Structure 1
């Protein structure tokens, strides 16, 4: 791949995840501080990601893959998204905010597949080339968080002045830039053969359900859904938690999770090849439980190190479970169900698993509301820690060790 093309694709990834990170991390804090939203309202807002993940296969599988160039639909979606982001910036109450966010996430979630498709289409050896480009997405997410804290939008003074609303304006502006830039990206024509019969089951990944006949894969599949329940607690509650207990520059500090993602992504191939799939997934689930224990007993003063360690564990939680899980799924699926299997896992985790998790997190946070604006965070965080331990035990005792050779086809 030519250097200029690598730079263009890297810039696309940077902008894609900068847009997402601009508002996603601080949304819970924004809703509570600016719109007076309750815990269950915040839960409903985060659930839009799951609804988007469930609907995304229709847009990518039916529309993008069959009728339009990927870079063109990416550009249109982000230009539409810029308008929706500006609308959210002007929102004054949750009732007007939620339907716009839902529309936005239904449009946005397919772009995560589109940027990958555009990148893969230009690569001769994705196994070597993709990670160098994809890492710029993580850097974009980190940059947005650092910028928010640098501008003090997430500080106590910033929250009092309502400055966190500017995250939506920032996302809108960057969406315009990405939308226009997308039309300059290399052509990525539709790949689907429209002469063949349309199969809804193939688009949704349901063809891969036959893989569940394999006991080990079935245990892994259930564990993937279950572990996404505590994961939702992190996405939904981490920013409001850190802000509520008085951690300064909390959004910038949360980027430690993405920094660790980069480091553990580099460590994953060595760990995976040496210790195998079962031990890799077990380490991830142990880290999941440990993270919430650190959150439960940490504070903004002398125990702030516990919060920082808990945030940094996000890298091993995400990379060692989701990335290694994708490798495991790919190895079991083979050529016939390769795409369908990945679609099924995405639908189950980001769709079903996290939808349950966001719902549970909202109700539990509301139950442990001590007084207006204050929660019993120790009790809240110990619940996902306990769920993680139960999933760990379920997986450890029922999943049999397997020798999986990573597939070099990305």
Structure 2
């Protein structure tokens, strides 16, 4: 098997694990475990809490002491055990704790997966900008495959979805150890105080361009968390008005159109980055979030299904042009010796601080527009669209980056 094919399999499994439970876990917690909305939201914020420190911490470990591919394998093996254990827990407190530990070992693997991919491609003489997106797109395919498998098997409200994730995690944990080595690049001597404390990647924040970039990465990470947390409950609330609609019967399949769209927009990233540069690509992403939320506000699973589908398609640009392009931008700007730390910092801002801000703020907005258990989804989504519109107006004036 060629090295590109091996990276394809690694990326496929990386996101297959996440796709098996990320979108449908809320249904399992609410319908099967009987958790309240606040409790469900609390479990989802574990990913934000873990992303505040674990990606950066393990990125430092990979930069200094342990090969990145080995650390990737260790994390996934631990994740497999935790997902299996989660199937046996029905008390909210302990379920929260188990999922928090699972987030602590899974969230860093997203950045580690990128670091291993970049390192292997670079050593083999491949262009990262040209060759990584077609490889990374298979991660999205893996996410979709997992969502469809769980939906078609009728496991969206079952603990079986966690077994699916655990099985893939076990396989990837073992497979990672067979990848070409990505050893630490930093020397263990003549290090500065900042280097010794593992704060290397934070030097990027001294550059105004990078500081602004990471702030908007956090704010856009909040938008992503809104989609993850409330896309499913939004469709579920239509079950009384449109009980026989496709979106109500197969919410995972409808939501998976977003990931299908990702596979298309990922392949466009090299063209857009080379033609327009990171600033314009990021602006496209922010504007796409405006339409993503706005179309949710006016759509429904019946006569407005086409609006929801269009929103799912736009999501591909909203996510990829920010998340994937942003990771590649960080890779270009960071010194190779702090590669994993820099990717970890990007994860901290998007899936850490961004997820916390998005989770807390969106929860407040949803509660504000909820009366007697009935949610005014149109007002909710228009509020989120307004938030993204404000970001789109401000971003071009504060972010300065040369087109290369």
> Structure 2 length as normaliser, TM-score?
0.86
1:118-141 CA distance string (max 9 Å, x none): 333433214244333322211111
Shift of 1:364: 2.5
Structure-1 residue corresponding to 2:203: 207
Tell me the distance in 1 between the aligned counterparts of 2:328 and 2:172: 30
Tell me the distance in 2 between the aligned counterparts of 1:190 and 1:335: 10
Shift of 1:202: 4.7
Tell me the distance in 1 between the aligned counterparts of 2:338 and 2:169: 34
Structure-2 residue corresponding to 1:15: 13
Give the direction of change, closer, same or farther, for the CA distance of 1:290–1:308 in structure 2 (3 Å limit): same
Structure-2 residue corresponding to 1:408: none
Which of the residues 164, 177, 198 maps onto 1:170?
164
Moved more, 238-247 or 77-86: 238-247
CA contact (8 A) 1:28 1:237 kept: no
Which of the residues 224, 236, 242 maps onto 1:243?
236
Which of the residues 176, 182, 190 maps onto 2:176?
182
Give the direction of change, closer, same or farther, for the CA distance of 1:312–1:6 in structure 2 (3 Å limit): same
Tell me the distance in 1 between the aligned counterparts of 2:72 and 2:341: 22
Query: What is the 5 A alignment of 1:189-200?
Result: 189-197=183-191, 199=195
Structure 1 portions without partners, runs of 5+: 155-162, 406-410
Shift of 1:277: 3.9
Tell me the distance in 1 between the aligned counterparts of 2:300 and 2:21: 24
Residue 30 of structure 1: SS of its match in structure 2?
helix
Structure-1 residue corresponding to 2:85: 87
Moved more, 188-197 or 383-392: 188-197
Tell me the distance in 2 between the aligned counterparts of 1:103 and 1:366: 28
Which of the residues 99, 102, 109 maps onto 1:101?
99
Moved more, 386-395 or 36-45: 36-45
Give the direction of change, closer, same or farther, for the CA distance of 1:264–1:49 in structure 2 (3 Å limit): same
CA contact (8 A) 2:111 2:343 kept: no
Q: Aligned pairs, how many?
A: 390
Give the direction of change, closer, same or farther, for the CA distance of 1:28–1:119 in structure 2 (3 Å limit): same
Structure-1 residue corresponding to 2:243: none
Tell me the distance in 2 between the aligned counterparts of 1:182 and 1:333: 25
Structure-2 residue corresponding to 1:148: 150
Tell me the distance in 2 between the aligned counterparts of 1:336 and 1:66: 9
Give the direction of change, closer, same or farther, for the CA distance of 1:110–1:83 in structure 2 (3 Å limit): same
Structure-2 residue corresponding to 1:366: 367
